[in-house]
Structure 1
Amino acid sequence: MKELISHQLVKYLEQRGVEYLFGLCGHTNIAVLTALENSRIKFVSTRHEQVAAHIADGYARAKKQTAVLLSHLGPGLTNATTGVANAALDSIPMVVIAGDVPSHYYGKHPHQEVNLHADASQYEIYRPFVKRAWRVDRPDLFPQILEKAFQLAESGRPGPVLVSVPMDIFSMEIDVELFEKVKKHTRKLHKPSLDEEVAKRIVQQLIEARNPVLYAGGGILIADAAAELRELVDHLSIPVAHSLMGKGALPDDHPLTLGMTGFWGTKFINDTTRNADLILALGTRFAEADASSWENDYTFDIPKTRLIHIDIDPSEIGRNYPAEIGAVADLKQALTVLNRVAKELLPQGKKNEELKQKIAANRAEFQAKNQVHIQSDAFPMTPQRILQEVREVLPRDAIITTDVGWNKNGVGQQFPIYEPGTVLTPGGLATMGFGAPAALGAKLARPERVVLSLVGDGGFGQNPAVLATAAEENIPVVWVIMNNCAYGTIAGLQKAHFGTTLGTLFKRNGQPYSPDYAAIARAYGIDGVKVESAAAFKEVLTQAIAANKPFVIDVHMQNIPTPTEGHWNIVDIYSPGHKVHHVAVDA
């Protein structure tokens, strides 16, 4: 029996448990949209493909399931590149299905064909950042390619893949047996673990070390290994530092959580990792900002500090630091083995009350220094007070998304996260414009959770049409726009090093300028409030969360830098020999 490929595609996705397709229509993919009409899969339509890609990214992170993005060719596919690349650099599984020009018109330059270096080569645009890009050249190969696409997106180090489908193939018929055959393939590959000998070597070194540190990266959260990490920490009493992407792997109120390292880390945290005699790194690539540009004077002093590195991706082991022991393994399985071995070698475990007291004292000292900002009644508000009051109002298990600037760097440094996977942030690509749409995906994935997006006015202004999707689908997300009328972090850097703010402040007729985002929200049919005083913010936020509907809060904020005792080499590039970071900029 034969059936249209577009209809068989939808049935295949249903069988895989896909709940949503995110995307935007075009003449190359409407055959698929038509096939979705009576499907249990819901198509979430957006006004821009970057928005769709970020929604899919947020969904995949919160659901821990591969997201599916449906795109048009040409400008549709290029619009989505930023969102797909962001997912790639953060190891988020995604299958991008894109319509393409008719196969019988290759090279004739039909409408929107990309063919400057090869005929119908739009799929090659994605090659630098997806795990693989396929073009379907024969209809009978489509089922196999689709199955391979999902398997590759989910295996090893997860990430996006692209399947580019000529529009005529969507409208062809093939034998249903071709799709039935691939459905018999396993939906889950078994991942590598640690062998007993290596696990014993690692645990023995952790036991014998004087000042060991566990360093948690985003790989812990991707592998759903937070519980196993905590078990090891509690048994051996080893402190845990984390990268930006590893935030939440261990709760911020756990007595052995040090905090984020690097440029936005505190001196206490960076000194602890730098003076460790042994570091067990788990699922991290030692990114530049987290590792203080890999300079030994600040955060990590490897190989003086011995390194054991476990990651699912072998290319990350030894990339930035030499590892005494390197192991390729799924972190959930690896930590399960390490926990078993640790209890065999040291049944009673270890205690380290002195270290817990030092960590608690450091937290108290940092909080005390922050009080003047947290308690300030100034308006525009201090970012510290905004973050403090958001944390006070949100439930412990609420999901927040961030963008870039204070809402990312400040959150990493001083916003407590209590449940693993409840902060979604753009790490690798650090994409401005990620936070607002990613929150929609997170809420669709976890409708029972409160979802709030902390985003700057620069980030929200990238794609405010995200509100159209929120209104149409009635997705109850709260956006807190931390509005400083600027690309604030860059303005602070530029002012500190070059004495100007050209191109970084938003002005009109020489005065600070910002659209009224609350009014814009109302124009989209969404509740919006522009906060007029520091005293009003918390009450408005409480009401927004209780409303359980899309809600925009526009709050003006002082443009002051995230405090840092860390290091990033860009400051030496700007101003060699001068220890200058950021300065406050009054917009």
Structure 2
Amino acid sequence: MKELISKQLVTYLENRGVEHIFGLCGHTVIAFLAELEKSTKIKFINVRHEQIASHAADGYARVKKQASVVLSHLGPGLTNAATGVANAALDSIPMVVIAGDVPSHYYGKHPHQEVNLHADAAQNEIYRPFVKRAWRVDIPELFPEIMEKAFALAESGRPGPVLVSVPMDMFSKEIDTALFEKTYYNTKTISKPSIDDETAAQIIETLVKAKNPVIYAGGGIILANASKELSEFAEFLSIPVAHSLMGKGVLSDEHPLILGMTGFWGTKFINDQCKNADYILGLGTSFKEADCSSWYPEYTFSFPPTKLIQIDIDPSEIGRNYPVEIGAAADLKQALKVLNRVAKKLYPSGKKNDVLRKEIIGNRQSSQAGNVELQQSSAFPMSPQRILADVREVLPRDAYITTDVGWNKNGVGQQFPIYEPGTILTPGGLATMGFGAPAALGAKVADPKRVVVSLVGDGGFGQNPAVLATAAIDNIAVIFVIMNNGAFGTIAGLEKAHYDTTFGTIFEKDGKPYSPDYAAIARAYGVEGIKITAADEFKPALKRAIELNKPVVIDAAMINNPVPTAGHWNIMDIYSPGKKVHHVSTN
């Protein structure tokens, strides 16, 4: 029996357990949309810009822990979505992008909106640098096989996005239903690689004999859902745990062995613990530049004399930035299960280090005490520390937080306690401004029972305020907290420090500060909008927003002071060679 591909694709996605698709219409995909309307299992989240769709799908996949689906039109639709897809790629987030393409019978004729400057019907090439694979469907009978491969590749190994570019006529072709039905017999869960007992024993013996071992955990722990196993291993051998920005939340920030975030925005205590370690066990981390103080040995990591043991699902990451003594390519959850079992066999009583625990807790208390004055300040515009402290006090412990870039990312990584693994969603590798607000939409759609707050700057929120239209239409109860410093604040602080100007970074009109009234904009979209006029108004406003259980924008004016830094970033040497200059306040 033959049926339309568009109809069979909807059935296929339903059978895969897809519950939501994020996207935007176009003439190349309306045949699919017409069939999707009939589905009782899949909801289409309609957006006003494709970057919103891809960022929302990113947030959704992080919470759902399965590949999300983006639907895009050809040409400008695909290029609009590209930033969000690239962000997902650099953060290893599984995503399947289904994009309409030019009709297959018009290849070479340069039809409407075709990308064709170097090859005919070549829009799929746009995504080649950052997706795991880009397919173009040239033969309708191969479409079922391509879709099955696309999901498997997105979710296996190191996760990431894939592209399936579909000439629009393919949606309207009929193929034998047996071709899609054949895929239903294929497993949808692939067993993941682990390590052998011999390798585990070698790692454990090395760590037990080490004088100052440190576990360094990255976002791979979150992706592998391995926080429980990590906690068990660290506690059994009493090894402190530091983390990258993307590793924020691998363990609760209350855990007695958690050190915190390293690198440029890490504290001196945390960076020194890593720098002075004789062995570091790197788990699911790429040792990125900002996390490693541009790899300068005097600030965060010093390999050698420190020696590195590294486990990662992606073998290309092992030894990429630092030499490795023991390396293993494995899924972190599976590897830690073996490490825990072998550790208990070799050392049934484990190891204790009460002195270390007291030192970690003491440093944490000291750091927190140093922030109290700013956290309690009634000054207005508000201090960012006050905003973060009030948010943490009001939010449930398991609430999801999404960040953008700037204070809301770097300050959160440094100062905002996360209690549940995977509840902080931040743009890491691409550090994309504009990520936070739409990612929060996706997170709330994926887990509607939990509170979701987007901490976002006015620069980031201003990029795609149309996110409010989707929030209003589908009643997606995200709370958007706009930390409004009237600037691209981090860059303003950099430019002021090194060049004594803020040209192009401060929002002004006729020489005076300028900011849209984001609360009024929210109300225009049909969303609750609250404009904060005094610091003491903020906490009650946030409490009310949670109680409303509907989308709310809270616009809070904030001073533009830089996040304190103890590490280093090589860009400072590029701007001001031979000088010790970082950021400055622009207030």
Q: Same fold (TM over 0.5)?
A: yes
2:507 aligned partner: 506
1:362 positional shift: 0.9
AA at the equivalent of 1:302: F
Residue 405 of structure 1 aligns to which amino acid in structure 2? G
Cross-structure match for 2:362 = 361
- Counterpart-to-counterpart distance in 1, 2:255 and 2:410: 21
Q: Distance in 1 between matches of 2:262 and 2:467?
A: 33
Give, in whole Å, the separation in 2 of the partners of 1:414 and 1:34. Answer: 48
Corresponding residue number in structure 1 for 2:13? 13
> 1:247, CA displacement in angstroms?
0.6
What is residue 438 of structure 2 aligned with on the other side?
A: 437
User: How far did residue 72 of structure 1 move?
Assistant: 0.2
Q: Whole-Å Cα distance in 2 between the matches of residues 430 and 448 of structure 1?
A: 28
Measured in 2, the distance between the counterparts of 1:373 and 1:191 equals: 47
Aligned to 1:145: 146
Following the alignment from structure 2 to structure 1, what is the Cα–Cα distance between the partners of residues 89 and 508? 35
Q: Which residue of 1 aligns with 2:37?
A: 37
1:303, distance to aligned residue in structure 2 (A): 2.4
Aligned AA (2:195): L
Give the C-alpha shift of residue 369 in structure 1: 1.4
**Aligned ranges for residues 59-138 of structure 1 at < 5 Å?**
59-138=60-139
Instruction: Please state how far the C-alpha of 1:337 moved relative to its aligned partner.
Output: 0.1
What's 1:210 paired with? 211
Give CA-to-partner distance per residue, 1:441-500, whole Å, 9 cap, x none.
000111111000000000000000000000000000101000000000000000000110
- Deviations, residues 305-360 of structure 1 (Å, cap 9, x unaligned): 01000000011001100110010000000000000011011111111111111111
SS of 1:279's partner is strand
In the comparison of the two structures, how many residue pairs are matched?
586
Corresponding residue for 1:568? 569
Paired residues for 1:532-543 under 5 Å = 532-543=533-544
Map of 2:164 onto structure 1:
163
How much has 1:376 moved relative to structure 2? Answer: 1.1
1:243 and 2:244 matched: yes
Amino acid at match of 1:548: N
Q: SS of 1:290's equivalent?
A: helix
Q: Which amino acid aligns with 1:36?
A: L
Q: CA offsets per residue over residues 55-87 of structure 1, 9 Å max, x none?
A: 100000011011000000000000000000000
The answer as to 2:341 corresponding to 1:340 is yes
Q: The residue matched to 1:535 in structure 2 has which SS? A: helix
User: Which letter does structure 2 place at the counterpart of 1:142?
Assistant: F
What SS does the corresponding residue of 1:291 show, helix, strand or coil? helix
One-letter identity of the residue aligned with 1:10: V
Q: Which residue of 1 aligns with 2:456?
A: 455
Please show how residues 322-471 of structure 1 align to structure 2 within 5 Å: 322-471=323-472
Query: After the TM superposition, which residues 297-308 of structure 1 pair with which residues of structure 2 at under 5 Å, given as runs?
Result: 297-308=298-309
One-letter identity of the residue aligned with 1:514: S
- The answer on 1:220 being equivalent to 2:217 is no
Tell me if 1:551 matches 2:561: no
Q: Following the alignment from structure 2 to structure 1, what is the Cα–Cα distance between the partners of residues 580 and 518? A: 37
Secondary structure at 2:290 match in 1: coil
* CA deviation profile, 1:222-279 (whole Å, cap 9, x unmatched): 0000000000011111000000000100110001100000000000000000000000
Give the AA of the match of 1:227.
K
Paired residue type of 2:138: D
Q: Distance in 1 between matches of 2:522 and 2:253?
A: 34
Q: Distance in 2 between matches of 1:196 and 1:338?
A: 8
Q: How many Å separate the matches in 1 of 2:188 and 2:362?
A: 48
SS of the equivalent of 1:536 reads helix
The residue type paired with residue 127 of structure 2 is Y
Tell me the secondary structure at the aligned position of residue 291 of structure 2: coil
Q: CA deviation at 1:375?
A: 1.5
Question: Unaligned stretches of 5+ in structure 1?
Answer: none
Aligned match of 1:481: 482
**SS at 1:210 equivalent:** coil
Please give the alpha-carbon distance, in whole angstroms, between the structure 1 residues aligned to 2:364 and 2:500.
Answer: 34
Cα deviation code 1:144-176 (max 9, x no counterpart): 111100010011100000000000011000000
AA paired with 1:573? I
Distance across 1 between alignment mates of 2:384 and 2:445? 28
Query: What SS is found at the alignment partner of 1:322?
Result: coil
Aligned to 2:24: 24
> 1:372 & 1:389 partners in 2: Cα distance?
13
Amino acid at match of 2:380: F
Aligned mates of 2:372, 2:173 — CA distance in 1: 66
Q: d(CA) in 2 for partners of 1:545 and 1:456? A: 20
1:111 corresponds to which letter in structure 2? H
Does residue 578 of structure 2 align to residue 580 of structure 1? no
- 1:304 is displaced (CA, Å) by 1.0
Distance 1:439 1:374 in 2: 25
Superposition deviation, residue 565 in structure 1? 1.2
SS at match of 2:236: helix
Q: Report the CA distance between 1:417 and its aligned residue.
A: 0.3
C-alpha distance in structure 1 between counterparts of 2:296 and 2:149, whole Å:
41
TM, length-normalised to structure 2: 0.99
Give the AA of the match of 1:59. Answer: Y
2-structure distance, mates of 1:257, 1:455 = 26
* Equivalent-residue separation in structure 1 for 2:20 and 2:365 (angstroms): 44
2:567, 2:169 → 1: CA distance?
Answer: 55
**3-state DSSP of counterpart to 1:418:** coil
Tell me how far apart the structure 2 counterparts of residues 338 and 531 of structure 1 sit (CA, whole Å).
51
Paired amino acid for 1:15 = N
**Letter matched to residue 389 of structure 1:** D
CA distance in 2, matches of 1:565, 1:165: 49
Task: Give the TM-score, by structure 1 length.
Answer: 0.99
Query: In the alignment, which residue of structure 2 is the partner of 1:257?
Result: 258
Whole-angstrom CA distance in 2 between matches of 1:374 and 1:283: 33
Which residue type is aligned with residue 399 of structure 2?
A: A
Return the letter of the residue paired with 2:64: K
Shift of 1:182: 1.5
Q: Root-mean-square deviation (CA), in Å?
A: 0.5
Match of 1:286 in 2: 287
